[in-house]
Structure 1
Amino acid sequence: MPDPMTAEAISAIMPPLREAMREAAGLALPYFRLGTNTSARTWSKAGGSPVTEADVEVDTFLKIRLSQIVPEAAWLSEETADDPARLDSGLVWIVDPIDGTRAFLSGHPDWSIAVALLAAGEPVIGFVHAPAGGKDYEARKGLGATCNGTPIAVSRQAGLPGARVTGPKPMFDRLGRGVSAEGREADFIRIDRVPSLALRVARVAEGSIDVGLISSNARDWDLAAADLVLREAGGSVSDMAGRPTRYNRADPVHGELIAVPHGLRDPVIAGWNRGA
């Protein structure tokens, strides 16, 4: 396939990608138990983060299937050893086989399977599949974003007062201090933190959350797919200086980020800086 990819080439990928995502969900769901602990075998990776046999099965399946769909694409995944050859590749699959593993482990429905395809360093396909919630978020660069086939858009919230905000408590509190420093009440509507970062960003894209706060150490695979969904829905994932998120760097780790509609980016950054 050409690089950069044409709109026709991107569109041709979508049907087999949708099928692959459904099959991947079929591998994970038998291990998921709503409201109680998973039946999957579980162990800890270096650093203490959990992984289950479901993560590994989905990762293995998607590596095979997505490599068949776009054979020339390199690979970056949470559960696969990193191959630096991806840095020189024009096309890269970025995959989180189960985003929100702790939620999956405990029976919380907010976990997802997240897949992005990068061309020349930019996401051109984003797919966030939430099997337990029954939602598919899709985006193709320049063609908008959908949830279960219906177009979605960010909220029209005009300012921080009354905004629906989710994320880690220290970040939430800092943003609140920044609003209070202006002499206004930080009357946010606090939304419970969404365990899957991909879903947190996707919910900003669909307009059910206004501001998604993301703590340091998120990886490309947590963000790339949902970032494109949000971009196509009228928002962005950026750092605290307003710079867009960059992907497929040598170190795919990010600092503190925000996921917001375009109209809220500057007020959030200003509030964040005042709240330090």
Structure 2
Amino acid sequence: MPDPISADSVSALMPALRGVLREAADLALPFFRQGDHTSARVWSKAGGSPVTEADVAVDTFLKIRLSELVPQAAWLSEETADDHARIGRDLVWIVDPIDGTRAFLSGHPDWSIAVALLSAGEPLIGFVHAPICGKAYEAVRGQGATCNGQPIRVSAQAELPGARVTGPKPMFDRLERGVSRTGAQPDFTMIERIPSLALRLARVAEGAIDLGLITANARDWDLAGADLVLREAGGSVRDREGRMPVYNRPEPVHGELVAVTDALRAQALSAWQTGG
């Protein structure tokens, strides 16, 4: 199916979108206190996960501004009640106003604002904006990925043993077992877990990490924008069977996943499956 939005229209959108992401960050930053608890009001959503007034303010702002830029697009966000009218729509905004809310409220710098525009079910535009880290990642399908305007590429690591890995320890242990069963020594470098899932994928995209492990129950808004950045940088997100995520389903929830460079994908999937 052809894109329902032209390449020229996408190019024309990008400067405005960059400005919107900067303004969204400016809304969140007054509530953030590095190394200290947020000044924002905090409460618990159904299920117990935290939300702050900064999440809600950024979500409201983005819904207004992004809907003005592409009024025909449907909407899916962590902080907005889901409207299943989005199902089957050609264009859909997928937004996490603050990815890594626990990091944000505790003063950890690794949180981000993640935005994707889906076209015909696939990410067409992706942004991961990490203001405390000073990093703005973006990608347009087929046009490569950048950080702060400079092209980025995944690492050149060609062998799974010795790779830099981040993610939950049970998945890390399973990957180690899979490599060990081949007779090789894993020799992984374990990187401290990154609270923002979108930022975890972006760091694989920029070559700072070789492999990112993702527990079950990630949502579309955690993944879609960063997924495109990673694809355009030479990697992808895969499930245990090697399939890429499908977005904008009635339940936008995913199982265990791995974010990996193209060069390591076959080895990583084999070790993951073999490890149990």
Instruction: State whether TM-score is above 0.5.
Output: yes
State yes or no: 1:231 paired with 2:231.
yes
Q: How does 1:110-129 map to 2 (within 5 A)?
A: 110-129=110-129
* Deviation at residue 206 of structure 1 after TM alignment: 0.2
* Deviation at residue 4 of structure 1 after TM alignment: 2.3
Q: Provide the residue aligned with 1:73 in structure 2.
A: 73
State yes or no: 1:135 paired with 2:135.
yes
Q: How does 1:91-170 map to 2 (within 5 A)?
A: 91-170=91-170
| Whole-angstrom distance in 2 between the partners of 1:66 and 1:3 | 18
* Deviation at residue 9 of structure 1 after TM alignment: 1.1
Q: Secondary structure at the match of 2:194?
A: coil
What is the one-letter code of the residue matched to 2:230? L
Q: Provide the residue aligned with 2:221 in structure 1.
A: 221
1:71-91 Cα distance to aligned partner (Å, 9 max, x none): 000000000000001003110
1:82-110 Cα distance to aligned partner (Å, 9 max, x none): 00010031100000000000000110000
What is the one-letter code of the residue matched to 1:47? G
Q: Secondary structure at the match of 1:263?
A: coil
Q: How does 1:2-41 map to 2 (within 5 A)?
A: 3-41=3-41
| Whole-angstrom distance in 1 between the partners of 2:88 and 2:121 | 10
What is the one-letter code of the residue matched to 1:170? P
RMSD: 0.9
What is the one-letter code of the residue matched to 1:141? R
| Matched pairs, number | 275
Q: Secondary structure at the match of 1:222?
A: helix
Q: Provide the residue aligned with 1:195 in structure 2.
A: 195
Q: How does 1:50-65 map to 2 (within 5 A)?
A: 50-65=50-65
What is the one-letter code of the residue matched to 2:101? T
| Whole-angstrom distance in 1 between the partners of 2:232 and 2:3 | 21
| Whole-angstrom distance in 2 between the partners of 1:43 and 1:186 | 42
Q: Secondary structure at the match of 2:249?
A: coil
Q: Secondary structure at the match of 2:263?
A: helix
What is the one-letter code of the residue matched to 1:78? E
Q: Secondary structure at the match of 2:174?
A: helix
Q: Provide the residue aligned with 1:86 in structure 2.
A: 86
